[in-house]
Amino acid sequence: MVPVKHIENNGHTDEQLLKAYQASGDQSELATLYMRYTDLVFGVCLKYLKDREDAKDAVMNIYQELIAKLKTHAVDHFKSWLYVVSKNHCLMQLRKTQKTMVVEFQPDFMQSEDFSHLDDILEKEKEFQKLGRCIGSLQEEQKKIIQLFYLDGKCYNEIVETTGLEWNRVRSLVQNGRRNLKICMDKNE
């Protein structure tokens, strides 16, 4: 199947108009080419921006972008390239409006002298201290393996390499150590 070249009014293809603009910089060539696709660009902008006036503004802004971009970009299929440029332009517009969200100042949200959030921190600190004591109460071999597995983040294979123990022994020490820690933590509540 032979691709159909878009030809309109003046008998020039998209490729011919694009090459003419890139060679001469004559905006009338670009304007002729762009006018073929303004409905497409407007539709894309309306889809993303959801406002007719914003979409109209975007159509004009995209044309201004094309003046600069087409001087340096190699474009094989103008219509699909223009669609992507239009979509990206709209997405950038949406990002800009999201970043500039205005929030009304409310004094109630200011920090007060209520330090109840510190209670959670103190409670976690107590749990860590209890965990440290429970780890300390484990048998030496179990303690070493639990520290390697949980605190150092090593896997069974790494522990085997580090300690020289067999893989099944490491697994057993981790499982028994975990059980013993749970029993110790529950007992000290």
Position 106 scores a pLDDT of 66
Highest mean pLDDT among 2-11, 45-54, 96-105 belongs to 45-54
Over residues 143-188, the pLDDT tens digits come to 898 888 888 888 889 999 989 999 999 999 989 988 988 888 888 7
Inter-residue contact 17 to 30 (CB < 8 Å): yes
Position 61 scores a pLDDT of 94
Over residues 102-152, the pLDDT tens digits come to 666 666 665 555 566 667 777 888 888 888 888 888 899 998 988 888 888
Position 103 scores a pLDDT of 61
> Has residue 27 got a pLDDT over 50?
yes
Q: Residues 27-35: what's their mean pLDDT?
A: 90
Q: In sequence order, which ranges of 50-188 are alpha helices (DSSP H)?
A: 52-72, 78-99, 117-136, 140-146, 156-163, 167-187
What's the pTM value of the predicted model, to 2 decimals?
A: 0.48
Of the pLDDT bands very low, low, confident and very high (cuts 50, 70, 90), residue 2 is very low
Position 11 scores a pLDDT of 72
Question: 2-6, 31-35, 71-75, 176-180: lowest mean pLDDT where?
Answer: 2-6
CATH 1.10.10.10 fits 130-187, yes or no: yes
Q: What is the pLDDT of the chain when averaged over all its residues? A: 83
Q: Residues 79-104: what's their mean pLDDT?
A: 83
Inter-residue contact 21 to 29 (CB < 8 Å): yes
Kindly list the domain boundaries of the chain, sorted by start residue.
Answer: 14-99, 130-187
- Reading the block at residue 5, the tokens are 């070249």
Position 117 scores a pLDDT of 63
Position 126 scores a pLDDT of 81
Inter-residue contact 170 to 147 (CB < 8 Å): no
CA distances from 145 to 137, 142, 157 (A): 13, 5, 12
Q: Which CATH class is domain 14-99?
A: mainly alpha
> Has residue 1 got a pLDDT over 50?
no
Q: CB within 8 A of 15, min separation 6: which ones?
A: 5, 78
Position 64 scores a pLDDT of 93
